[in-house]
Amino acid sequence: MINKESITLQIVKEEIEEKVPCLILAHRNPGYLESTTKKPRLREYLMEHWHRELEINYIFEETIVEYYIDGQKIRAQSGDLVIINCESIHSISIKKLPEDKQKISTITLIIDYDFLHEVIPDVKECVFETKEAEYLEPVKKKILELAKYYESETSEYKYVMVKGILYEILFFLCNEHIKKKKLALPHSIKRNVGRLRDILNYIDNYYQEPIQQGEVSKLFFLSRSYFARFFKSYTGITFQEYLTRFRLVKAEDKLLYSDDSITDIALDTGFSDTRYFINSFRKYYSITPYQYRLSHKKK
């Protein structure tokens, strides 16, 4: 299961071309992905999600991004390369951006899974790990080369060059950074990541209904206190905060792409009443749901 609200997934499904087995995204404004055909969303936080594609993030100057990847917190800044392996659960929180909003803050490379599997037949059993900075320099250079070529080249045969650069990137990664998953990840982490995946699936299926943390902890045979510690340690936020944000993401879509009333949207996305929905929305978006809908539908 993949969180269908993930911006990454939406773009992957819509824009990875058949002949070009990757997608390059240049990030500028918070949460704005230039390649997306969807309306821009003001997001400085991208919730936990996962996908089959390999994701590589190259952080630029004046930028700090905090990642949670399979429960591991990574604070990345200028010059860092962050690799998100296939199906790894991850969230992204923007902590600092360039003052000049035209400057690129991050380049994200998303590589199609079928292409990966063709090049690395056992990719499902492997993970890529980042080592010393010097081993990543060739990868960074190739990502910049690929981004520049991808943006400027209009030839119908550009996929030939793109694939060539991708092969080089994967060569560098396989030569220095690939490891068997069973050796790289302790059993306890794999078990906990699987448990987190099940919990997130549960929220995805039942967010419209009243959900209590105590009831969910019982469903997964965990004490309430352990469940609270576990969830926050693997996501960086509390269960209640995650649930509220998840419901807000669902509500945001309805505000943008439906004519449902604010009250109907609140109740349909699991909020107990309209006032709680409006207060929660204002907390994370700094405006009311009505103002958000009005400002975006004018564009």
Give pLDDT tens digits for 226-266: 999 999 999 999 999 999 999 999 999 999 999 999 999 99
CA atoms within 13 A on the CB side of 53: 22
- What pLDDT, on the 0 to 100 scale, is given for residue 90? 94
More confident residue, 205 or 23: 205
Mean pLDDT of 199-227: 96
Task: For residue 295, count other CB atoms closer than 10 A to its CB.
Answer: 11
**If we measure between CA atoms, which residue out of 209, 247, 246, 241 comes closest to residue 228?**
241
Q: Which domains are delineated in the chain?
A: 7-183 (2.60.120.280), 187-297 (1.10.10.60)
Going by C-beta distance under 8 Å and a sequence separation of 6 or more, which residues neighbour residue 140?
Answer: 58, 79, 81
Regarding predicted confidence, which is higher, 190 or 258?
A: 258
- Report the b/e string of 133-161 with b at 16+ CB within 10 A: eeebebbbebbeebbeebeeeeeeebbeb
34-48, 235-249, 255-269, 280-294: least confident range = 34-48
For residue 184, what pLDDT is reported? 75
Q: Is residue 188 scored above 70 in pLDDT?
A: yes
Tens digit of pLDDT for each residue in 127-181?
A: 998 766 667 888 999 999 888 877 776 777 878 888 999 999 999 999 888 888 8
List all residues 6 or more positions away from 255 whose beta carbon is below 8 Å from its beta carbon.
265, 289, 292, 293, 296
Instruction: Specify the pLDDT at position 65.
Output: 92
**What value does the mean pLDDT of the chain take?**
84
